Amino acid sequence: MNKSPFDRNSLENCLRFAQKGHSILLFEDGIYGALTGTRFETLLKGALKSYNIYVLVPDLQARGMRTENIIDGIKSTDYAGFVDLVAENKTVQAWL
C-alpha cells in the first residue's frame, strides 16, 4: 500500500479485503500507517494477528523515520525483500 492512510482510506480497504495469511507491504507514503502513536496503531496491531505486515525501510528513511518508529510486530524489509515478497505471493494487488 503506497498511499498515506491520513489522505485516503486505502489502508482500511486493504485490510478489509485481505485474507488471513496475506502479506501487506507499506511503502512510499503508506509507511505512515506503520508508525507508533498514530490513530492507525490499534488497527494495525489487530491486523498483525491475521496478516504479515511489512514496511519498506528505504521509504521510511527517506521520510526521516527510523525502524524504531514502527509498530512492534511490523517487519522491516529492503528492496531485495520487496522482490522476495512479490516472488513468494501468488497475487500482487496495489491499493490506491
Going from N- to C-terminal start, the domains of the chain cover: 10-88
The verdict on domain 10-88 having CATH code 3.40.1260.10 is: yes
Burial class (CB in 10 A: 0-12, 13-18, 19+), 76: middle
Model pLDDT, residue 33: 96
Give the C-alpha distances (Å, rounded to integers) separating 22 from 25, 56, 63: 10, 17, 26
Model pLDDT, residue 91: 83
* Total-model pTM: 0.93
* H/E segment holding residue 90: none
What the block records as the C-alpha cell of 44 is: 494495525
Model pLDDT, residue 96: 62
Stretches where the chain sits below pLDDT 50 are none
